[in-house]
C-alpha cells in the first residue's frame, strides 16, 4: 500500500485554482436551497434531483477532492458528514417541498433511512472535485442501486 500522507493525497484547490461551485454556495455567490449549515459542513438540495429527496452534504473546505482523500486526511470530518446525512434523513421538514407537500408519503419523513453515495472519479460520475455526499431518500426501490 502506498504512503497515505496528506502531501500525496490532498489537493488544496479544485484543479483550476478557482473556488469550486460548492465553495461558491458556501460564500453565497450562488444561490442554493440550504437545509443545514454549521462551521464545518453545509447541506443543500441538489439542483438536479435523482430521488424525491436529494441532498448534498459538503465539507466547507475544498481541500479533499473525494471521499478516499477525506477518509485518509480527516476521518472525523467524514464521520460528521455521515452523521449529518443521518440527522437530515430523520428530519420530516427536509422531506417536504416548499409548498408543504410530502415528498415521501410517509408520516415520519424517510424514517432515518437513506442512500449515501460518494461518486469517486470521473468515470464513476464525479463532476465536482470537492468531496460531497449525495443523500438520497424517499420511496427508493428495493434492490436497486442507481434508481
Interface residues toward ligand 5GP, by CB under 6 A: 21, 30, 32, 44-48, 56, 119, 125-128
Q: In Å, what is the CA distance from 102 to each residue of 109, 110, 115, 147?
A: 8, 11, 19, 20
All three cell numbers of 16: 483550476
Nearer to ligand 5GP, 9 or 20 (CB): 20
Least spacing, CB of residue 56 vs ligand 5GP, in Å:
6
Least spacing, CB of residue 36 vs ligand 5GP, in Å:
14
Nearer to ligand 5GP, 112 or 125 (CB): 125
Q: Which of 130, 132, 134, 147 is catalytic?
A: 132
**Is 132 an active-site residue?**
yes
CB 137 within 8 A of CB 29: no
Least spacing, CB of residue 8 vs ligand 5GP, in Å:
22
Q: Which residues are catalytic?
A: 132
Amino acid at each position: 500500500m502506498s504512503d497515505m500522507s496528506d502531501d500525496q493525497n490532498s489537493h488544496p484547490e479544485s484543479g483550476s485554482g478557482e473556488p469550486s461551485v460548492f465553495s461558491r454556495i458556501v460564500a453565497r455567490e450562488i444561490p442554493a436551497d440550504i437545509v443545514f449549515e454549521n462551521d464545518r459542513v453545509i447541506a443543500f438540495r441538489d439542483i438536479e434531483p435523482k430521488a424525491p429527496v436529494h441532498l448534498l452534504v459538503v465539507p466547507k473546505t475544498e481541500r479533499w477532492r473525494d471521499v478516499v482523500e477525506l477518509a485518509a486526511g480527516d476521518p472525523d470530518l467524514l464521520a460528521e458528514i455521515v452523521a449529518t446525512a443521518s440527522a437530515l434523513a430523520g428530519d420530516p421538514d427536509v422531506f417536504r417541498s416548499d409548498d408543504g407537500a410530502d415528498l415521501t408519503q410517509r408520516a415520519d419523513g424517510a424514517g432515518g433511512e437513506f442512500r449515501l453515495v460518494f461518486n469517486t472519479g470521473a468515470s464513476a460520475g464525479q463532476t465536482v472535485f470537492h468531496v460531497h455526499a449525495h443523500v438520497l431518500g424517499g420511496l427508493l426501490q428495493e434492490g436497486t442501486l442507481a434508481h
